[in-house]
Amino acid sequence: MAQSSIEWTEMTWNPTTGCTKVSQGCKFCYAEIMSKRLQAMGVEKYKDNFEVRTHESALKTPYTWKKSKVVFVNSMSDLFHEQIPLEFIKKVFKVMNENPQHVFQVLTKRAERLLELHKELKWSHNIWMGVSVEEQKVENRIDYLRKTNARVKFLSLEPLIGALPNLNLENIDWVIVGGESGHTPRPMDADWVIDLQEQCEKADVAFFFKQWGGKNKKKNGRELNGRTYDEMPEIELQHSV
Ligand code: SF4
């Protein structure tokens, strides 16, 4: 568990680590780079670098947080990775179900497996389920997400590497958009972002613009149309589980 610099969350919690690449959005995977660094630093959890691992001991952590948190689950992995057994995913969900004072944001690129397993899982109000969509080619992930029983559904359109002109936003509660950063970022066209903001406004979907990205993401900032967009779904904690 660590404080997070990610703009749309407060903390990260990683009951699993490691992953394998599935699509273009994975090209410069931040989790892979970080895992290597943490392994070199001798951090036990990352001794196997980016191999998929489950961590039973991490399951206790959310019970120890004193104040309500907004938590990004598995910033260093993908909970629906094919190597993570359903039994362990159920354990992670049990922890989230038993901690309704926190919001848990789960994000996957394995939308097909998410749909396959969703009926086995208990979707309390405090679980926000999202899929990453970086380009049109993988837009079908949204259809899988839409069919699940998740109460709050969101899209992470980051790193956005292509236009998404006809998004079906039916039953989607939240959209996050961001450009790629790092040494060799793929460009994000301003017109794609403006179009997505307009699509969200039209469909009455909360819109969060995370960053323009690029080689100097600090300098490029996160303003669009002369303002920032920090919309989020309403947090309902008191009626959870
Ligand atoms: S799915 Fe996510 S964590 Fe896994 S390789 Fe791709 S970007 Fe990295």
For 168, the token pair is 């079906």
Assign 234 a pLDDT band (cuts: 50, 70, 90). Answer: confident
The confidence score (pLDDT) of residue 3 equals: 73
223 closest CA partner among 205, 210, 204: 210
Helix (H/G/I), strand (E/B), else coil: 116 = helix
Residue with CA nearest ligand 1 atom 6: 26
179 closest CA partner among 167, 166, 162: 162
Strands 174-178 and 127-132, by their bridges, are unpaired
Q: How far is the CA of 176 from the centre of ligand 1 (A)?
A: 17
Place of tokens 């992470």: 156
- Averaged over 142-148, what is the pLDDT? 98
Q: Is the C-beta atom of 19 inside 6 A of ligand 1?
A: yes
Q: Rounded to an integer, what distance in angstroms lies between the CA atom of residue 59 and that of residue 204?
A: 36
What residues contact residue 45 under an 8 Å CB cut-off, 6+ apart? 14, 17, 38, 53, 55, 58
Query: What's 98's DSSP letter?
Result: T
Q: Rounded to an integer, what distance in angstroms lies between the CA atom of residue 68 and that of residue 235?
A: 11
- Averaged over 121-145, what is the pLDDT? 98
Tens digits of per-residue pLDDT, 31-89?
999 999 999 999 999 999 999 999 999 999 999 999 999 999 999 999 999 999 999 99
Specify the ligand 1 atom closest to the Cα of 21.
5
For 90, the token pair is 């159920």
Q: Is the C-beta atom of 76 inside 6 A of ligand 1?
A: no
Residue with CA nearest ligand 1 atom 4: 19
The confidence score (pLDDT) of residue 1 equals: 59
Mean pLDDT of the chain: 95
Q: Is the C-beta atom of 6 inside 6 A of ligand 1?
A: no
For 238, the token pair is 């008191």
Asked if 16 contacts 30 with a C-beta cutoff of 8 angstroms, the reply is no
Q: Is the confidence at residue 164, as pLDDT, over 50?
A: yes
- Averaged over 103-123, what is the pLDDT? 98
The confidence score (pLDDT) of residue 237 equals: 60
Q: Rounded to an integer, what distance in angstroms lies between the CA atom of residue 226 and that of residue 147?
A: 36
Q: Is the C-beta atom of 109 inside 6 A of ligand 1?
A: yes
What residue spans define the domains of the chain?
Answer: 11-230
Q: Which residues pair with 176 in a beta bridge?
A: 156, 208
pTM above 0.85, yes or no: yes
Assign 7 a pLDDT band (cuts: 50, 70, 90). Answer: confident
Q: Is the C-beta atom of 115 inside 6 A of ligand 1?
A: no
Q: Rounded to an integer, what distance in angstroms lies between the CA atom of residue 94 and that of residue 184?
A: 40
The confidence score (pLDDT) of residue 4 equals: 78
Q: Is the confidence at residue 240, as pLDDT, over 50?
A: no
Q: Is the confidence at residue 238, as pLDDT, over 60?
A: no
On the CB side of 112, CA atoms within 13 Å amount to: 5
